[in-house]
Amino acid sequence: MPERSMTEILENLGDEIVSELDEIARAAHQRFRTYSPEVLVELDVRAQAACTYAHMLAEGDRRFLGRPRVRTIDLRGLKLWHFEDADVVIRLKKMDEDGRSRNYPTKQAKAFDRQVDLPGLPSPPVRLTAGYLLDATGAQLVRAQIAMPSGRDTLWCAAIVPREDRVEGERIWIDATRQARAF
C-alpha cells in the first residue's frame, strides 16, 4: 500500500493534471447531455455511463497522448494513464459520493482497486480513479473527483474545485472523504 498521503499524491500530480482531469469529466458529461432528448430517454443508467466513459477516454487521449512522461496503458480494455513524474496511474470512471466506481468489476479492475501488481503495469505507482459524480436524477454533474481505491472501499476522495470557483492561493481540491461514524 502506498506510503504517500492524499496531499502528497495530489501535489505530486500537480494542479495542471488535476485541472485536466476535472475538465475531462465535465467535457464528457456535457457532450453526453448534447444527445437529443429522444436518444437520452432510451438510454438506461448503464448505457449513459458507457457513453460518458467513451467520451472521457477520447478527451483523455486528446489531452494526454504524446505528452512527455505520460504513458497510455491498455490492459485488455482497462485504459490507464501513467503519470511518470508523480508515479501515479489513473483510470477514469463514473463514481459514487465516496469515490467508488459502481460496476461489475473484472479481475483486473479488482486488482487495480486493491493496488496489487498487474501484468504490463509498472509497479509500484499509486493507482487512482478519477471521474464524476452525478445527482440523484443522473442528469446533473455534482462534481469531478479523484479517489484512491482500496479493494471495495476508498482510502480517500478529493472533490476537484471547478476552475471558475477557485480562489487564488488555495488548493484546487477539497477532501471529500466520508468520515466514519463513531458508535
CA pair distance 132, 60, nearest whole angstrom: 14
pLDDT one-digit tens code per residue, 146-158: 999 988 889 999 9
Q: What confidence score (pLDDT) does residue 50 get?
A: 94
CA pair distance 37, 30, nearest whole angstrom: 14
DSSP run (H or E) holding 132: strand 126-134
Least confident of 4-8, 22-26, 102-106: 102-106
pTM for this one? 0.87
DSSP run (H or E) holding 52: helix 45-64
159: cell is 472533490
With a cut of 70, say whether residue 34 has pLDDT above it: yes
Q: What confidence score (pLDDT) does residue 76 get?
A: 80
Single-letter residue type at 64:
F
Residue whose grid cell is 493507482: 127
- What interhelical angle do 45-64 and 15-33 show, nearest 10? 140
With a cut of 60, say whether residue 182 has pLDDT above it: no
- The region that residue 128 occupies, defined by phi over 0 for left and psi between -120 and 50 for alpha, beta otherwise, is beta
Q: What is the mean pLDDT of residues 162-168?
A: 95
Q: What is the mean pLDDT of residues 82-103?
A: 90
With a cut of 70, say whether residue 77 has pLDDT above it: yes
| pLDDT level of residue 23 (50, 70, 90 thresholds) | very high
3-state helix, strand, coil split of the chain in percent (to 5) is 35, 30, 40
Strands 70-75 and 78-83, bridge-based pairing: antiparallel
| Every domain of the chain and the residues it spans | 6-175
